[in-house]
Amino acid sequence: MRVLGIETSCDETGIAIYDGTEGLLADTLYSQVALHAPFGGVVPELASRDHIQKTLPLIRETLTKAQTTPNQLDAIAYTAGPGLIGALLVGASIAKSLAYAWNIKSIGIHHLESHLLVALLEIPAPNFPFLALLVSGGHTLIAKVKKLGCYEILGQSLDDAAGEAFDKTAKVLGLDYPGGPALAKLAQLGKPSSFCFPRPMTQKKNLDFSFSGLKTSVLQTLKPIVLDEPTKADIAYAFQEAVVDTLVMKCQWALELTGLKQLVVAGGVGANQALRSALTACLERMGGQVFFPRPNFCTDNGAMVAFAGYLRLKNANYDASLEIAVKPRWALNDLS
């Protein structure tokens, strides 16, 4: 079975083709970073308009790369939510229209499910059940992944997601959008122990997260000091260390609580090197194994959509209706 995947939930147009026998055939990405950079964040209307411009040319390019003609495709998978409504609608409309024109199946995919499953594309891959830490721009959660479609959320963010905290703190430090990678880069130049920020909600063995206070702590720390470049780097270091420590602590508790030995890390913040090193060390101490998708499969991409679509279609799961419907809000544990 050969599936075309379309991801347009936010500021990345991601297209890929996955084949059940041959694996991933092609994967292309267009990032809107330059478009949104002057505004310091994603402008939803601009995102939708840009997806309209880029999706079809990128599909053509991906088909060529995969040496695939439309009549070799069995289905189209697209991100149906959660995400920006206009951006989602672009992907859904194009997917539904092409599926109708090419007389093939289509299926709407849950964005977080596709993030969680993409680690199965890598070698070595985890086996069900496993624990997953999903850390993206919009979500932070720890879930027990029992099998395809069966996700038990053990803890989640009560306010800002980890990626959002990175982005907002980066802004406070005067870094350019997108803030997360910029802050991580600056943190590499920082000295340990110059500053210390709280590890939120770690007094008790609770698996929920709250990162919004961290940004406020950074703001308060900044007020009385002269912010030169070395100090900025020290603050970035301490902020990243606080987020990483908190995430690692909670993952350790969740592994102890569930008795699971495999941890999958997913979502954009999963590309963070400090987090990767700390989780690798933690799982080594615990005698478990951690699985990271390659960094460009941590951030939004088409491969995860094509792959999740393939897995669902294998189970005869698809949407026969012609209705173009997306879900900007969609809870992960609503899936089955």
Residue 271 binds which entry of Zn ion, ligand KG4, none, CB below 5-8 Å type-dependent:
ligand KG4
Question: Does residue 272 touch ligand KG4 according to CB under 6 A?
Answer: yes
Q: Tell which one of 14, 86, 137, 302 touches ligand KG4 (CB under 6 A).
A: 137
Scan residues 122-141 and list those touching Zn ion (CB under 5 A).
Answer: 136
Using the contact rule CB under 6 A, the part of the chain among 123-131, 134-142, 224-232, 321-329 near ligand KG4 is 134-142
Sign of CA dihedral 88, 32, 140, 7: positive
Q: HSE on the CB side for 294, CA within 13 Å?
A: 7
3-state SS class at 288: coil
Using the contact rule CB under 6 A, the part of the chain among 36-44, 148-156, 217-225, 268-276 near ligand KG4 is 268-276
102: enclosing H helix or E strand: helix 85-102
Q: Tell the smallest beta-carbon distance from residue 81 to Zn ion (Å).
A: 11
Q: Which is nearer to ligand KG4, 200 or 268 (CB)?
A: 268
Using the contact rule CB under 5 A, the part of the chain among 243-251, 253-261, 295-303, 307-315 near Zn ion is 295-303
For 299-328, b/e burial (b = at least 16 CB within 10 A) is bbbbbbbbbbbbbbbeeeebbeeeebebbe
Cα 4 from chain centroid? 19
Question: Does residue 14 touch ligand KG4 according to CB under 6 A?
Answer: no
Q: Tell the smallest beta-carbon distance from residue 269 to ligand KG4 (Å).
A: 4
Question: Does residue 300 touch Zn ion according to CB under 5 A?
Answer: yes
Q: Tell which one of 8, 114, 136, 157 touches ligand KG4 (CB under 6 A).
A: 136
**Rounded distance between C-alpha atoms, residue 227 and residue 235, angstroms:** 10
**Rounded distance between C-alpha atoms, residue 56 and residue 42, angstroms:** 21
**Rounded distance between C-alpha atoms, residue 66 and residue 27, angstroms:** 9
Q: Which is nearer to ligand KG4, 2 or 168 (CB)?
A: 168
Q: Tell the smallest beta-carbon distance from residue 284 to ligand KG4 (Å).
A: 22
Scan residues 162-201 and list those touching ligand KG4 (CB under 6 A).
Answer: 163, 166-167, 178-181, 184
Q: Which is nearer to ligand KG4, 99 or 306 (CB)?
A: 306
Backbone angles phi, psi at 244, to 5 degrees: -65, -50
Q: Tell which one of 300, 302, 324, 332 touches ligand KG4 (CB under 6 A).
A: 300
Question: Does residue 7 touch Zn ion according to CB under 5 A?
Answer: no
**Rounded distance between C-alpha atoms, residue 14 and residue 54, angstroms:** 10
Question: Does residue 113 touch Zn ion according to CB under 5 A?
Answer: no
User: Taking Cα atoms as reference points, which of 128, 49, 78 lies closest to residue 312?
Assistant: 78
Q: Tell the smallest beta-carbon distance from residue 136 to ligand KG4 (Å).
A: 3
Q: Which is nearer to ligand KG4, 137 or 309 (CB)?
A: 137
Contacts of 256 (CB under 8 A, 6+ apart): none
210 — alpha (psi -120 to 50), left (phi > 0) or beta? beta
- # chain residues binding Zn ion, by CB under 5 A: 2
Peptide bond into 181 cis (omega under 30): no
Chain residues in the site for ligand KG4 (CB under 6 A): 10, 136-138, 163, 166-167, 178-181, 184, 267-269, 271-272, 299-300
Chain residues in the site for Zn ion (CB under 5 A): 136, 300
